[in-house]
Structure 1
């Protein structure tokens, strides 16, 4: 198989991979003459083990020709805000540092991840978003916390 065929196959698999986040909206940050504009995308995802918690991510998305084809590498810029949206119910035991969300931000080597910690002393869930690469990650990160409130009402 030729290199171009392998690259095409990998691109199709990456584009067809399921995403566990719902896009809420986006804004353009850089105009591109050809291809999509660079954007900041806002996405929401629910914690898979904690009912009643939703996290909102804002992240950079590279446009241009490479971005339109899904082969651009997004920057490591991201922010997170997690909120209680209903009664909190922990459905399974929680492990500190457990990945609750993961999204590829380049074709092969870079990933945006959200991990969860449980501050048991304060009964708070702490969510950390960061970007990593196989060889060299980024220190850019953002954190959000949700208190586990008893008797929550909207």
Structure 2
């Protein structure tokens, strides 16, 4: 059981459940993809952020409001770790090879000039695959889009440079 923010329009009609995207900058609603929604296991958790999201929703919906309600049951997507665990149980450890790729590369400072998916060196020293494109300001110069495959959440990271494969 989860608590969520039910979205109401200015005529007091429920229209769906609140979720955000673009790194929490866009606020919208859905009535079908409940696993995307803001949700908490306790009502106290939902109360902590309520005022912030309610004021944003009032502005966005031109007079609507939010209510904290118990969400209907929905199927949560499986994480990559649990999918792998199921395969291990079904096929055994020896039948699932770990995927590894080795290549030589050079580090290019800044961002590539063309749109596409690259390997990027992030500020924290990690290397992640991300997408470089013409994002709206301020995400258009040093920031790349990365996805977290566990929960299929997209977020932005500041990068130091990108890796070019050396033949």
Q: TM-score, normalised by structure 2?
A: 0.24
Structure number with greater Rg is 2
Report the TM-score, using the length of structure 1 for normalisation. 0.26
Q: Name the structure, 1 or 2, with higher relative contact order (CA <8 Å, separation 6+).
A: 2
